[in-house]
Chains A and B, each alone.
Chain A
């Protein structure tokens, strides 16, 4: 099951914890992977670890021109982009009343606008191929909200509405667009939380633990696979029951 042999996948944020696991999972299923991210060294290290069928495609998603160029670079390197995983994301947390326009805009730019542009950039090839998988990594806070994350929650909720609209438009062409909404996952981002914060969070998680990046990658693998052809416009919540949506 879940054989991606011959498929080419572009993954943003592949230098991060979740993105790296997504890349590994798709690669293990036979896909060629394009590893995008801002930091080239960890991307290269991951590519070296994966061996064949891995390409490093550095891109700063806050640079609009670089974002526009990325789909073509990926297609040139891999031959096509059959699977797009918009995983890259940044946070600039602040209380609403203290949030600067720059904190708002930078999060919207990287998390939402870059996702839009990358989706748009890969669609032509997918339309022609009559096959494509777009998986946008949203977040539980896009559905529930979170104090201090007005910008991040807006971007992640925006991603869900955008994904649904796109899913409508391209469903008849064999292209699916879905979102995965992680809950609390063990990553560098959540490592910054102190023990009290972690304990507070775990009280709200019926599963009683944080999720792993591999568990997010497994959801992405399913939504990237031929087997998920009839699932589109969905948001797959991977959150240990923290919010049953």
Chain B
């Protein structure tokens, strides 16, 4: 459980090609990390696979920041 933030961070870093220290709790994928809307869809797909969970579309829309993603995944597991 405790490694969720690290695994999420790794996906974000790999997918968006950003520095690891930029991926802070409040970092917005779109505003701070340079993602476009399709990137956010792909990130959600990657989270689903990494953690073996289903993230419905309406929930996916609420995942805007790194912190949002970690929180959602922790609750989903």
Contacts and interface: CB of A to CB of B under 8 A. Distances in A.
B42 interface: yes
A128 B38 contact: no
Interface residues of B, number: 5
Chain A interface main SS type: helix
Interface stretch (A58-66, A168-176, A235-243): A168-176
A170 B36 CA distance: 12
Interface residues of A, number: 7
Nearest to B38: A169
Interface in A80-130: 124, 127-128
A222 B41 CA distance: 29
A169 B45 CA distance: 16
A173 B38 CA distance: 9
Nearest to B46: A128
Interface in A164-183: 169-170, 172-173
B45 A172 contact: no
A109 B42 CA distance: 28
Contacts of B41: 127
Contacts of A173: 38
Contacts of B38: 127, 169-170, 172-173
Interface string B34-56: 00101001100100000000000
B76 to A, nearest CB: 19
A156 B17 CA distance: 40
Contacts of A172: 36, 38
A98 to B, nearest CB: 40
A183 B41 CA distance: 38
Interface in A148-172: 169-170, 172
A177 to B, nearest CB: 14
A47 to B, nearest CB: 32
Contacts of B42: 127
B42 to A, nearest CB: 6
Interface string B52-72: 000000000000000000000
A169 B41 CA distance: 12
A169 B42 CA distance: 13
11 contacts: A124-B45, A127-B38, A127-B41, A127-B42, A127-B45, A128-B45, A169-B38, A170-B38, A172-B36, A172-B38, A173-B38
Please provide the 5 A-B residue pairs with the shortest distance between their CB atoms, ordered closest to farther: A127-B42, A124-B45, A169-B38, A173-B38, A172-B38
Interface of B: 36, 38, 41-42, 45
Given A124-B45, A170-B38, A173-B38, 8 more contacts: A127-B38, A127-B41, A127-B42, A127-B45, A128-B45, A169-B38, A172-B36, A172-B38
